[in-house]
Structure 1
Amino acid sequence: MSVAEAFDAVAGTYDEARRRLVPCFDAFYGTAVQVAAPPLRAALAAGRTPEVLDLGAGTGLLSLLLAAAVPGVRLTLVDAAPAMLSRAADQLRARAVPHRTVRADLADELPAGRYDAVVSALAIHHLDDDGKRGLYRRAAAALAPGGVFVNAEQVAGPTPALDRRYDEVWTARITELGSSPDEIAAARERMRHDQPATVADQCRWLEEAGLVDVDCFFKEWRFAVFGGRAR
């Protein structure tokens, strides 16, 4: 089963499970919104419609949060899973948020445009390291001057021992939050597609892609929010 097929299979229940499977949900997504919001608000203040590109957008969870925080944005959502994109479009239409959806793989060329923010949540770790580096270069090139790239991501521990500890803590926390054995088993099955990298490596790749003010803005075990700004 491909990554897209694995996520299409859970499109109807994906959002409801997020708060159990991402124990730091509010701080994790909230930080991503906080980092992405300033150039969007600056575009509004300059009389422009802020443009956002959401990579691996899934059901549109991060896009919806951004649209709520900065009303007036226009969203472009990219994902390879059609059922996930369909759910995202339904939710955005229900809230009258301007958007377009593009069915594409993250290894493909990005939709043409100059974006005030390029964002992603829990998607880029499905690429291998060369794929991540290539995507970071394309994302940086798609940014308008002063635009930001923000990745809310599942990351690897910097050592094998820490990576094992990340998994132990995650398993304990999601169990406390009510994840059933079946839900945990299904999540682990999807995680067979994962190829996470460390925060340090990915921040270095963002700098190599030409971004400045690169930083990790939030981290709780395997969940991290990092990014940078176009000059």
Structure 2
Amino acid sequence: MTVADAFDAVAGTYDDARRRLVPCFETFYGTAVEVAAPPLRAALAAGRTPEVLDLGAGTGLLSLLLAAAVPGVRLTLVDAAPAMLAVAAERLRERGVAHRTLLADLADPLPAGRYDAVVSALAIHHLDDPGKRALYHRLPAALAPGGVFVNAEQVAGPTPALDRRYDEVWLERITALGSDAEEIAAARARMAYDRPAPVADQCAWLAEAGLVDVDCFFKEWRFAVFGGRAA
């Protein structure tokens, strides 16, 4: 089974557990929206339709939040799981949000265009480290001047001991929020495909790729929001 197969299998129910499995849900996604929004609003002020590229868009949760925060954006959603993209497209159509969906892997070339924001949530960690670096090096060419990249991501601890502690805290918190044994087992099965990397490494790779103002804007144990902007 591929990563796409694993997520397609739960496309219809995937978001039901998101607020439990991401204990810092509101701040995590809220920070990603706050970082992405300024260049989108600047495009609107300049009389231009803001363009957003959502990598590993899944069911479109982050895209929907951005569209609500900055009405008038046009979204391009990329994912390798067709059932997940179908859920996203239906939700965006219901809300009248301009969008297109592209079935593609994150290792593929990025769709043509210059985007005011390239965003991703809980997807890039499925790439190995060389794959992450290669993707990050493709970002500057995809960003409009001043455009931003924002990654709301699951990350590894900088040491094995901290990584184990991240997992212990995550398990404690999701159990307190109501995740049962079945839900945790299903999450663990999907996590078998994860290849997370520490925040510091990924910020270094973004700077190496040519982004500026690279920073980690939020971090709570294994959940982090980081990125940078085009020079």
- Alpha-carbon contact 1:8-1:82 (below 8 Å) kept: yes
Q: Cα RMSD (Å) of the superposition?
A: 0.4
- Alpha-carbon contact 1:116-1:143 (below 8 Å) kept: yes
Aligned-residue offset at 1:137: 1.1
Could you say what secondary structure the match of 1:193 adopts? coil
- Alpha-carbon contact 1:117-1:148 (below 8 Å) kept: yes
1:171 aligns to what? 171
For 1:21 and 1:30, the matched residues in 2 are separated by 16
For 1:128 and 1:205, the matched residues in 2 are separated by 13
For 1:136 and 1:82, the matched residues in 2 are separated by 24
Aligned-residue offset at 1:70: 0.1
For 2:17 and 2:139, the matched residues in 1 are separated by 29
Aligned-residue offset at 1:141: 1.6
1:5 aligns to what? 5
Corresponding letter in the other structure for 1:7: F
- Alpha-carbon contact 1:53-1:119 (below 8 Å) kept: yes
2:121 aligns to what? 121
Alignment of 1:79-228 (within 5 A): 79-228=79-228
Alignment of 1:44-55 (within 5 A): 44-55=44-55
Report Cα offsets for 1:9-50 as digits up to 9, x if no partner: 110111111000000000000000000000000000000000
For 1:74 and 1:50, the matched residues in 2 are separated by 6
Over the matched positions of the two proteins, sequence identity in percent amounts to: 85
For 2:140 and 2:63, the matched residues in 1 are separated by 19
- Alpha-carbon contact 1:140-1:149 (below 8 Å) kept: no
Aligned-residue offset at 1:140: 2.2
1:31 aligns to what? 31
1:58 aligns to what? 58
Report Cα offsets for 1:156-197 as digits up to 9, x if no partner: 000000000000000000000001100000000000000000
Deviates more, 1:138-147 or 1:55-64: 138-147
For 1:134 and 1:71, the matched residues in 2 are separated by 32
- Alpha-carbon contact 1:149-1:228 (below 8 Å) kept: yes
Corresponding letter in the other structure for 2:174: I
Corresponding letter in the other structure for 2:123: A
For 1:50 and 1:63, the matched residues in 2 are separated by 13
Aligned-residue offset at 1:213: 0.3
- Alpha-carbon contact 1:211-1:229 (below 8 Å) kept: yes
Q: Where does the alignment leave 5 or more consecutive residues of structure 1 unmatched?
A: none
Normalising to structure 1: TM-score of the pair?
1.00
- Alpha-carbon contact 1:56-1:106 (below 8 Å) kept: yes
Could you say what secondary structure the match of 2:192 adopts? helix
For 2:13 and 2:20, the matched residues in 1 are separated by 12
Corresponding letter in the other structure for 1:165: R
Aligned-residue offset at 1:138: 1.0
Q: Where does the alignment leave 5 or more consecutive residues of structure 2 unmatched?
A: none
For 1:209 and 1:184, the matched residues in 2 are separated by 36
Aligned-residue offset at 1:6: 0.3
